[in-house]
Amino acid sequence: MILNDICVFDFETSGLDHQNDRVIELAAIRVRNGEIVGQFQTLIHQPIELPEKITEITGITPELMRSGMDEDLAFKILRVLMRDALLVAHNAEFDLQFLHWTMMRLAGKTFTNSFIDTMTISRERHPFPHRLEPMCERYGIKLEGAHRAFNDVIGCFELLKAFHAEKPVDEWVNRLGFLSKYPPPLWVPDYAVTFPTENRYERREAI
């Protein structure tokens, strides 16, 4: 079964620039045969000035960030947890690029894991909005503390299970949709199949 060995992960970051901004919090769970067999979460110490907007969104303050784990150690632990599992993320275009550029900066090499993006599936199966919080709400999944990495990981895992129960997600491995009004991702794995997509909107009756 495609979901027998997966690693669901999420990053909170200091901004949107994959090469120059930094991961300030990460979380991941390793799942085998539907059971969580390992997990890791940590704040990451970064010698940067944290924008106030990021603190507003995540609740992560400069003081919290300074108390976090060393970046190199955090990503070594993450890679041990991931190993050769199928990676899963919501809006994987974002997280995969941060994973790639951080690994290249720290270790000089990237990952080769296959992946599934639950946001790409969301856009295919449902009308707008497709953020994790409203998608979880659609399926009755309780998501507490969105925009903190571990909470988002659990929400993403539950959403993936709901998608798979609805219709198997096997066809979505290594497929990455991007909104056609924006350019394609600057970096994706060589084996990724990227394609433009658009948001669909529910029709509303005229008042």
C-alpha to C-alpha distance for 55 and 60, rounded to whole angstroms: 5
Domains and CATH numbers, the chain: 5-197 (3.30.420.10)
Residue 110 CB partners (closer than 8 Å, separation 6+):
99, 100, 103, 104, 189
C-alpha to C-alpha distance for 28 and 23, rounded to whole angstroms: 13
Per-residue pLDDT tens for 39-64? Answer: 999 999 999 999 999 999 999 999 99
What local confidence, expressed as pLDDT, does residue 169 receive? 97
What average pLDDT does the segment 27-43 reach?
97
22 has pLDDT over 70: yes
Per-residue pLDDT tens for 159-205? Answer: 999 999 999 999 999 999 999 999 999 999 999 999 999 999 987 65
Residue 39 CB partners (closer than 8 Å, separation 6+):
27, 28, 29, 30, 81, 150
C-alpha to C-alpha distance for 176 and 97, rounded to whole angstroms: 12
- Residue whose C-alpha is closest to residue 154's, from 140, 166, 136, 167: 136
Whole-number mean pLDDT of the chain? Answer: 95
145 has pLDDT over 90: no
- Residue whose C-alpha is closest to residue 122's, from 89, 154, 163: 163
Residue 200: Cβ within 10 Å count: 13
What local confidence, expressed as pLDDT, does residue 164 receive? 97
pTM (two decimals)? 0.95
Per-residue pLDDT tens for 80-137? Answer: 999 999 999 999 999 999 999 999 999 999 999 999 999 999 999 999 999 999 999 9
Residue 101: Cβ within 10 Å count: 20
What local confidence, expressed as pLDDT, does residue 206 receive? 54
What local confidence, expressed as pLDDT, does residue 2 receive? 82
End-to-end CA distance of the chain: 48
What local confidence, expressed as pLDDT, does residue 203 receive? 76
